[in-house]
Amino acid sequence: MSNSRPTVSLTAPLPPGSVIGMLGGGQLGRMAAQAAAAMGYHCHVFCPEQNSPAAEVARDNTVAAYDDWDALAAFAGAVDVVTYEFENVPSETAAFLLERKAVHPGPNVLHICQNRLREKDFCNSIDIPTTRYAEVNSFESLERVVRDMGRPCVLKTTEMGYDGKGQSFIRQDSDLTEVWEKVTGGKEGIQTIVEAVVDFRMEISVIVARSLNGACQTYIPVENQHKNHILDRTIVPARISDKLLERAEAIARRMADKLELMGMLAIEMFVTTDDEILVNEMAPRPHNSGHWTMDGCVTSQFEQFMRAVAGVPLGSVERHSDVVMTNLLGHDVDDWHAILSDPNNKLHLYGKAEAKPGRKMGHVNRIIPRGEG
């Protein structure tokens, strides 16, 4: 691939009727495509899987591998802007598309968000605190870093980890050989990171959108509760002081500005027992912890995402209701009738055929009108 061709970026708002290209066909792409259609845009989904959740609701669909250059060239030719609903877009794929069409959020954001070390380095470079961390590339360096940092700490792969996959806590009695084997699968050359374990009282997240002219909107910080490392519930708003709410939003805005983001960024943070806020990780797309906005906010995160990527003015992030969002994993979805029996529940299903254990099948937003909380 040549590096001589310039990359493209969007310079004017896309009018209704334009086509938004979406890499990835999961539930985030599905809900974004639904929001795009409501605004008169068309979505063209590109993903390797047949019958993806997003393809069911998008106008156009290409089923091809992310290294199928002919299919990618045709896709680039058929859309007005490219975005993605997952951050692990292969860098060659992003580079290939960038030579042909605007990709938002841009390559700098994708590059940082694909790697935990780069995320933390970026945060620290702009004076946003994280937990202490160190790169580890061999078992010998793991032993040294753990000795220096002290236990407990946590070893994670720097790339491709999600929902607790690719990570292992190192407690006082943990056997480092086993931890190394578990995280790297015994493979050579896997980059990992060791992080000091944070003594947190709450996990929160903030979602920020930034559009063409630098206009920026942040949703109120929310409180995230996990089960087996997978998000279980999001409580809106997070039960922290106004000062901490403001600080978390300011961090998100600063990150979006420094990245010159065009699109959406979700930032997961820890609130420590000392009321410090530390950034844990970030994702350049809508986020599971933002699903509450579909029923609790003037503008849902999916509409906001589409607005930001299309370069049109952002919508109001005003919250009209408090919400508790619960994920429906695997056979939780069998309770659909009971869920619908409460008129304050809003059920969202992703159209997935098979309810495998741990698979995100849908979510329910329980609406608590403001003033009744």
Residues near ligand AMP, by CB under 6 A: 131, 154, 161, 164, 195, 197-198, 203, 226, 229, 268, 280-281
Residue 33 CB neighbour total at 10 angstroms: 29
What's the min distance (Å) between Cβ of 130 and ligand AMP?
9
Residue 312 CB neighbour total at 10 angstroms: 19
What's the min distance (Å) between Cβ of 156 and ligand AMP?
6
Closer residue to ligand AMP in complex, CB, 31/198: 198
CA–centroid distance for 265 within its chain: 7
Closer residue to ligand AMP in complex, CB, 81/278: 278
Closer residue to ligand AMP in complex, CB, 203/303: 203
Closer residue to ligand AMP in complex, CB, 48/152: 152
CA–centroid distance for 356 within its chain: 22
Q: Cα(38)–Cα(156) distance, rounded to whole angstroms?
A: 40
Instruction: Report the Cα–Cα distance between both ends of the chain, in Å, rounded.
Output: 56
Closer residue to ligand AMP in complex, CB, 319/359: 359
What's the min distance (Å) between Cβ of 190 and ligand AMP?
16
What's the min distance (Å) between Cβ of 168 and ligand AMP?
10
Contact (Cβ atoms closer than 8 angstroms) between residue 315 and residue 300: no
**Region at 185 (left for phi over 0; alpha for psi -120 to 50; beta for the rest):** left
Closer residue to ligand AMP in complex, CB, 56/268: 268
Burial class (CB in 10 A: 0-12, 13-18, 19+), 368: middle
What's the min distance (Å) between Cβ of 200 and ligand AMP?
6
Closer residue to ligand AMP in complex, CB, 68/159: 159
Going by the DSSP 8-state scheme, the letter that residue 107 receives in this structure is H
Nearest to 79 by CA among 57, 58, 49: 58
Closer residue to ligand AMP in complex, CB, 164/185: 164
Contact (Cβ atoms closer than 8 angstroms) between residue 192 and residue 137: yes
Closer residue to ligand AMP in complex, CB, 48/161: 161
Alpha helix ranges (H) inside the chain: 27-38, 69-78, 91-98, 107-113, 116-125, 139-149, 176-184, 242-258, 293-296, 301-310, 336-340
What's the min distance (Å) between Cβ of 132 and ligand AMP?
9
Closer residue to ligand AMP in complex, CB, 203/223: 203
What's the min distance (Å) between Cβ of 12 and ligand AMP?
37
C-alpha radius of gyration, the chain, whole number: 21
What's the min distance (Å) between Cβ of 37 and ligand AMP?
31
Q: Does a cis peptide bond (omega within 30 degrees of 0) precede residue 237?
A: yes
What's the min distance (Å) between Cβ of 195 and ligand AMP?
4
What's the min distance (Å) between Cβ of 163 and ligand AMP?
7
Contact (Cβ atoms closer than 8 angstroms) between residue 210 and residue 263: yes
Q: Cα(306)–Cα(265) distance, rounded to whole angstroms?
A: 13
Contact (Cβ atoms closer than 8 angstroms) between residue 170 and residue 114: no
